[in-house]
Amino acid sequence: MTAVRANRDDVMRILGTVMDPEVPVLSVVELGIVRHVAVSDAGVKITITPTYSGCPAMRTMEQDMREALVAEGIGDVTFETVYAPAWTSDWIPAAAREKLRRFGIAPPGPAEQGGLIALARRPASVACPYCGSTNTERRSEFGSTACKAIHFCNACRQPFDEFKAF
Amino acid sequence: MTTLPPDVAAPRETPLGAPIVEFVLRLGDDRLVLGHRLSEWCGHAPVLEEDIALANVALDLIGQGAAMLALAGKLEGRGRDEDALAYLRDEREFRNCLLVEQPNGDFAVTIVRQFLFDAWSVLYLDALARCPHAELAALAARALKEDTYHLRHSSQWMLRLGDGTPESHERAQRALDALWRFTGELFEADAVDAAVAKQGIAVDREAIRARWNDIVSDVARRATLTPPDEPHMASGGRTGRHSEHLGHLLAEMQIVARSHPGAGW
């Protein structure tokens, strides 16, 4: 394959166009799974940290990243998976959180640090992404994908997803 | 007395491998088997949200199991990947604890089994996340976050079932009584554990048992359930001696991979 000598900025720009297939307003970069990009004569090496163990979209995202780079002539791509530090929703930047909210998904609050059990404490209610009310209730801690929980807004009577704080 | 032919009479456990490999297999097999059990609920749970919840927990556990079995295969160095370990081992080669292979039963059995496991798992993973084996610690740290989330879910269901209707209470208590004898195994330590402890992977079982007892008694009390006074504990899973249920589970889990070796899509 004819090697195009890409620079790191090009690679990051291209990866910024690769969307999470299940949350299509977030790019893989905004999602925080792209931890490191190294460009050398040997090609491009992308270090990724997967989100949930049970997320079936991880492999798709890797494939989508590869295809997007190939489409721009960057073919020598290798991926390395690194598990530590573990992925956290805290890595999603503020601008991307606003994109989530506009898409109808309540963005994640700060992830809980340490402490094993918080059984009795009720988590703070999550603001409705449609009307902003905090008069909402959690319907289920698990939603349509590993990264979401289901809530209901008592003010505007809408069910909505929350991107879990994790 | 009837004399059995030697191949039948001889113990059929497969010999234990290198301690670190055995140690990681035990960890991975727990998750693979419990994940498969939970996946059996898919399309059958009492309400849609729970169907989705159990499937999500199943996916997390199977994902954790896959990563742990991949590590076990790498440490073993015989070229077996996570698929080979999951699909091409026989019952006696599985190292999961007996608790996770117990059948789903009714929803109460599934929730009690999950709660007893989750409460143990978060403590065990918390210890492993601080061990000096970098790859193992990383997998444990990640799984710990997920299992903490699972524990919150299973704990809340313990409260709803135990402190719910007379029927849900009775079923939850019955499940607790039936599954209790599989909890002793979670705190056993054998030669494998002693060997990996020498490499710094030391998990203080008695400390974990004490904290587990605290969590379980606290939730049980609030759920108006009573842990049974059961002196007899079942054991054997860690060395491949399983209850009759694992073979049936594996038959279903492995049939496609074994019927179509090497198939891909």
**Residue B122 at interface with chain A, using a CB cutoff of 8 Å:** yes
Residue of chain B nearest A52, judged by CA positions: B60
- Cβ-defined contact of B126 to A116 (cutoff 8 Å): yes
B93 min Cα distance to partner chain A (Å): 24
Q: Which two tokens stand for residue B153?
A: 């879910």
The CA–CA distances, whole Å, from B194 to A86, B12, B24, B201, B203 equal 28, 24, 14, 9, 10
- Cβ-defined contact of B53 to A141 (cutoff 8 Å): yes
Q: pLDDT tens digit string along B117-167?
A: 999 999 999 999 999 999 999 999 999 999 999 999 999 999 999 999 999
**Per-residue pLDDT at B265:** 72
Kindly provide the ipTM of the predicted complex, given to two decimals.
Answer: 0.88
CA distance B237 to B8: 20
Residue A151 CA to its chain's centroid (Å): 19
First to last CA, chain B: 54
- Cβ-defined contact of A55 to B126 (cutoff 8 Å): no
What domains sit in chain B, N to C, each tagged with a CATH number?
17-259 (1.20.1260.10)
CA distance B47 to B104: 16
Q: pLDDT tens digit string along B244-262?
A: 999 999 999 999 999 999 8
The yes-or-no verdict on residue B11 having pLDDT over 60 is: no
Cβ–Cβ under 8 Å, residues B46 and B222: no
CA distance B249 to A23: 34
- Cβ-defined contact of A87 to B142 (cutoff 8 Å): yes
Q: pLDDT tens digit string along A129-143?
A: 999 999 999 999 898
**Exposed, middle or buried, A67 (CB in 10 Å: 0-12/13-18/19+)?**
exposed
B143: chain A residues, CB-CB within 8 Å: 53
- Cβ-defined contact of A117 to B60 (cutoff 8 Å): no
**Per-residue pLDDT at B264:** 80
A residues 28..87 contacting B (CB < 8 A):
52-56, 82-87
What domains sit in chain A, N to C, each tagged with a CATH number?
8-87 (3.30.300.130), 94-163 (no CATH)
Q: Which two tokens stand for residue B128?
A: 């492993």
Q: What is the side-by-side order of every strand in the sheet holding A34-40?
A: A34-40, A43-48, A77-81
Report which secondary-structure segment, H or E, holds A163.
strand A158-163
Tell me how crowded residue A13 is: count the other CB atoms within 10 A of its CB: 13
A64 min Cα distance to partner chain B (Å): 17
The yes-or-no verdict on residue A9 having pLDDT over 80 is: yes
